[in-house]
Chains A and B, each alone.
Chain A
Amino acid sequence: MRAFVPPPAPTGEPYVSDLPFMSESNGWGPVERDRSNGLNAGGDGNPLTIGGVVYEKGVGVHAPSELSVYLGGACRAFTATVGLDDETTSPGSVAFRVFGDDRLLYDSGVLRDGDQAVPITVDIAGVRLLSLRVTDGGDDRNFDHADWADARLVCA
């Protein structure tokens, strides 16, 4: 059987990369906090960079990827700037999707290397478990280094 032990609900405006992940899966190596995905070891990423702009905070992943954070219904907005990280040498493609309690709240559509970073704001009022997923954009996972830059919550 499985039990879920909730952490304290977040308060203020925390970055997602400073919260415990309730689940985590990644296409190559582990999910990186405040770094790009890098290679397949932990902590081996570079500064998060989309279109030449460097972001200090955020989450660096590799498609297909999923991570979730516990909100306990205490937050009302999720904001981030999403796009493919500059660290790859060949073009990748991904789609960023935000789920609240398994309900799709946002879908970026397919983004490609060289596309502008996309700022997003998602209403997450009442959401208990926030899930950030990155798909391979429909053409396999190679070079799909994806950044949830400045990923942040607005909570009570």
Chain B
Amino acid sequence: MEAVRGAENFPPAANNPVQFFTRNVVGSMDYTPVSLEVGTKEASVAHEVALPVLYESGWTHFADRPEAYERFPEALRYLNQVPTAWDETRVLGGDPSDHAVVARRSGDRWFVGAVAAGDPRTLRAPLGFLGGGQWLVEVVRDGVGRGDVRRDARIVRSSAALEVAVRRDGGFAAVICPYLPGMLTCERPVVPVPATTLAGTPSGVVDAAKGWTVTGAPVGRRALRPGETLTGRWTVRVGDGSPVGPVDVPVFAEFRAPGHARVHVE
């Protein structure tokens, strides 16, 4: 991932569609999106909320303070659902100098991010990329002034298009999921990774003897209770052909937790 001249440099809102079509085309980028209380406040709140969908990063750092997001609970509710990595991307429309509309899939849900630069207009997101059947769409758009975003839901088929009237430098975001009777939201529970620590002794740099082998099998357990500790002991010997000087000896732990197929701790 590479840094871009992102939000911390207070770029004009007109740069935002440009970044999507230029820098982000060639790789993940670190833009620090979603300035709600910090920054120039040129782009609308819904425009800012759409950026972490529009911009692919793999490791999105938000621009604002945690308390700022708590003052925008509808925005936070949407942002909490946005995944870190995507399975599929469809560009739905745009022009580098004017606007950008993208849909990105994670599992069976699609997220739509749309931003405009300049005058108010209607942004359009045709939904032809969806499969057959009914889909629940939740659209997040600007509310009153620089207040929190508003959310509304509807049931659509892939022949539909989202058409959202946006204000100057505005935008919208959406989440779309397969509709089942009775469903009211596409939200899924956000399950945090259990806090886990890995400690090694000795903690300082150790002089290594010759012979670059590891003695001692990995330790594992079928299940761990919260608070339980798993310990292991290994002997590492450095081979005659080893480079000299400081050498990193990686030690890590991995586990499965509800909602997380693989948690890696080092």
Do A and B belong to a common assembly? yes
Chain A positions near chain B (C-beta within 8 angstroms): 1-7, 20-23, 70
A19 → chain B closest CB, angstroms: 10
Tell whether B206 is near chain A: CB-to-CB under 8 Å. Answer: yes
A55 → chain B closest CB, angstroms: 26
Task: Report yes or no: B245 in contact with A1, Cβ–Cβ below 8 A.
Answer: no
Task: Report yes or no: A5 in contact with B205, Cβ–Cβ below 8 A.
Answer: no
User: Residue on B with the closest CB to A3?
Assistant: B208
Task: Report yes or no: B249 in contact with A22, Cβ–Cβ below 8 A.
Answer: no
Contacts of B202 in A (CB 8 A): 1
Knowing A20-B244, A22-B244, A70-B244 touch, does A6 contact B249 (C-beta < 8 A)?
A: no
Q: Which of B246, B250, B251 has the most CB of A within 10 A?
A: B246
- A21 to B243: give the CA distance in the assembly, Å: 11
User: Residue on A with the closest CB to B249?
Assistant: A1
Among B218-264, those with CB < 8 Å from A are 236, 238, 242-251
Partner of B247, one of A5, A20, A21: A5
Partner of B249, one of A3, A20, A70: A3
- A1 to B233: give the CA distance in the assembly, Å: 13
> Chain B interface secondary structure, helix, strand, loop or mixed?
loop
Tell whether B200 is near chain A: CB-to-CB under 8 Å. Answer: yes
- A22 to B243: give the CA distance in the assembly, Å: 10
Question: What bracket does the count of chain B residues touching chain A fall in?
Answer: 20 to 34
Task: Report yes or no: A4 in contact with B245, Cβ–Cβ below 8 A.
Answer: yes
Contacts of B246 in A (CB 8 A): 2-5, 22-23
Q: Please, could you name 23 A-B residue pairs with CB atoms under 8 Å apart, sorted by A?
A: A1-B200, A1-B202, A2-B205, A2-B246, A3-B206, A3-B207, A3-B208, A3-B238, A3-B248, A4-B207, A4-B245, A5-B208, A5-B243, A5-B244, A5-B245, A5-B246, A5-B247, A6-B207, A6-B244, A22-B244, A23-B245, A23-B246, A70-B244
Contacts of A5 in B (CB 8 A): 208, 238, 242-247
Task: Report yes or no: A2 in contact with B248, Cβ–Cβ below 8 A.
Answer: yes
- A23 to B246: give the CA distance in the assembly, Å: 8
- A22 to B247: give the CA distance in the assembly, Å: 10
User: Residue on B with the closest CB to A69?
Assistant: B245
Contacts of B250 in A (CB 8 A): 1
Among B196-216, those with CB < 8 Å from A are 200, 202-208
Please give 6 more A-B residue pairs, beta carbons under 8 A apart, in addition to A1-B248, A1-B251, A3-B236. A3-B248, A3-B249, A5-B247, A6-B207, A23-B245, A70-B245
- A5 to B239: give the CA distance in the assembly, Å: 10
B216 → chain A closest CB, angstroms: 14
- A4 to B208: give the CA distance in the assembly, Å: 6
- A2 to B200: give the CA distance in the assembly, Å: 10
Task: Report yes or no: B249 in contact with A2, Cβ–Cβ below 8 A.
Answer: yes
B202 → chain A closest CB, angstroms: 8
B265 → chain A closest CB, angstroms: 14
- A21 to B208: give the CA distance in the assembly, Å: 17
Contact flags (1/0) for B182-206 with A, using CB distance below 8 Å? 0000000000000000001011111
A73 → chain B closest CB, angstroms: 13
- A6 to B207: give the CA distance in the assembly, Å: 7
Q: Which of A1, A2, A22, A70 has the most CB of B within 10 A?
A: A1
- A87 to B236: give the CA distance in the assembly, Å: 47
- A126 to B238: give the CA distance in the assembly, Å: 25
Partner of A2, one of B242, B243, B247: B247
Contacts of B208 in A (CB 8 A): 3-5
Q: Which of A2, A6, A7, A23 has the most CB of B within 10 A?
A: A2
- A23 to B206: give the CA distance in the assembly, Å: 16
- A7 to B246: give the CA distance in the assembly, Å: 11
